Chains A and B, each alone.
Chain A
């Protein structure tokens, strides 16, 4: 085995894996609490990217401010989905399947809306000065470092928020025992809004990180949402650490697979890894068995 290549693939795997971990935590924090299969998670991802591009092109804002506009817009988009779509449906005792279908509908319709509003062409977010660093046989870009640092920081912050704060504990309470949560006076609507806000903020950051190096396109949110749910289920629903670990492992496995397979086979490896893990541990890597 070429050790230099292995080291490079490992570093690349960690970089991709940290972004997947961010996506996994963003999806996991919402799904574990609400049990809503939030496919419309693609909306804040794409909204953040398009809003940043719009702020940069139309308002002439610098990269930092444009990203801030994108972050706010993406988070608001996620909150709007909870407020205008999920909340009324939950209030009318809609089944989770019905809510999922609405979520699916939003995720399918939204790219068309983006296309109508911004056109079908890919959009660039200008201003990010990327450069590469050579560390022996390993090449690392500024974007790679930024992705790892930002994703790692946000994952840690959310885990600490949920574990250590009163509001975070209300999320755990609602996730693990909704009836008791209501009995102690935890408001379900507030908790749902909180988790949608946190999850949408995280996925918006993922969308912005992607757009710094790639391009914004109407369907850009669909593939990351699939990755997000694979990471969350692989790691174990209900465990934010599990979702982060699941994402990191997905990144590493898909990167290492390049040692043996063509890059095109990446998705096969990712779904294969999920299949094998869930076959052996249906509750996911760090998830708890149902009682």
Chain B
């Protein structure tokens, strides 16, 4: 049980929604993550900062079950995900948005959104979900027949969030959502992410190199360096921190 107050006013006297304990993982003979632990609570926006190659994307892939754990455990919503597939992870209420190619470029916007709900067993409320998502991203509403690959970087990023929302996740894992978009669009995208968390009680775990963008909206921040967690602090503490380079 964690007791903590983020600057959003969210009082975290709750069981964590996601708890990763002592995670070790890697590719082939290369070990990328060593003994990494983290928690995300309901309604919380958590940032993971770190340099290139620190293991941030590997960590997200482990949490989403795209990469097997060598050691440790991932518990989501009170249930262990350690032996589950990514399909079961989606059904349990977790979404993952990769940093590169976060959409299906060859398909239309409508088809992309439809795929966002692919894993759902009950699709009877698909129309309702679609309307809900289009209300959040009205720019997509009139362009459902357009090929997604023709969108600008910012629009593609919006679409990627919309795809994730179609499954109504309890936790969104976002891998570098600022990648490939202009600073003005970064700010707008992160505001949208913050609003989603605040308005819907959804949790968000963001992996980023863009420190100001993450700290602006995060309730809590971790720093990952060379595959190990070297810092955990509140969003408020992170915003007051002037020097980051010694941590990277």
Contact = CB atoms under 8 A, between A and B. Distances in A.
Interface residues of B, number: 29
A180 B98 contact: yes
A180 B87 contact: no
B114 to A, nearest CB: 7
A176 interface: yes
Given A184-B163, A185-B87, A185-B118, A177 B66 contact: no
A180 B102 contact: yes
B107 A183 contact: no
B118 A179 contact: no
Interface string A159-203: 000000010011011001101111111110000000000000000
B104 A183 contact: no
Interface in B159-193: 163-164, 167
B87 A187 contact: yes
A240 to B, nearest CB: 13
Given A187-B85, A187-B87, A182 B107 contact: no
13 contacts: A166-B114, A173-B107, A176-B105, A180-B98, A180-B102, A180-B103, A183-B86, A183-B90, A183-B164, A185-B87, A185-B91, A185-B118, A186-B118
Contacts, number: 67
Contacts of B102: 180
Given A176-B104, A176-B105, A177-B105, A183 B118 contact: no
Contact of A169 (B86, B95, B101, B107): B107
Contacts of B167: 184-185
Interface in A182-240: 182-187
B119 interface: yes
Interface string B77-100: 000000001110111000111100
Contact of B118 (A93, A170, A176, A288): A170
A96 B118 CA distance: 28
- What's the dominant secondary structure at chain A's contact region? helix
Interface in B104-152: 104-107, 111, 114-116, 118-119
A185 B90 contact: yes
A186 B107 CA distance: 16
Contact of A177 (B90, B101, B116, B119): B101
Nearest to A186: B118
B64 interface: yes
B104 to A, nearest CB: 5
Contacts of A170: 115, 118
A187 B167 CA distance: 16
Contacts of A177: 101, 103-105
A169 B115 contact: yes
B115 A173 contact: yes
Contacts of B95: 183
Given A177-B101, A183-B96, A186-B118, A172 B86 contact: no
Contacts of B164: 183
Given A177-B101, A177-B104, A183 B87 contact: no
Nearest to B89: A185
Interface string A39-75: 0000000000000000000000000000000000000
A92 to B, nearest CB: 11
A181 B103 CA distance: 9
A166 B104 CA distance: 14
Contact of B64 (A169, A180, A183, A187): A183
B142 to A, nearest CB: 22
A169 B95 CA distance: 19
A166 B111 CA distance: 9
A180 B87 CA distance: 12
Nearest to B116: A184
A169 B98 contact: no
Between B87, B105, B164, B167, the greatest number of chain A beta carbons within 10 A of the residue's beta carbon is seen for: B87
A17 B92 CA distance: 49
A168 to B, nearest CB: 11
Contacts of B91: 185
A183 B98 contact: yes
Nearest to B64: A183
Contacts of B111: 169
A176 B96 CA distance: 17
User: Quick one: which of A180, A182, A184, A288 has the most chain B CB within 10 A?
Assistant: A184
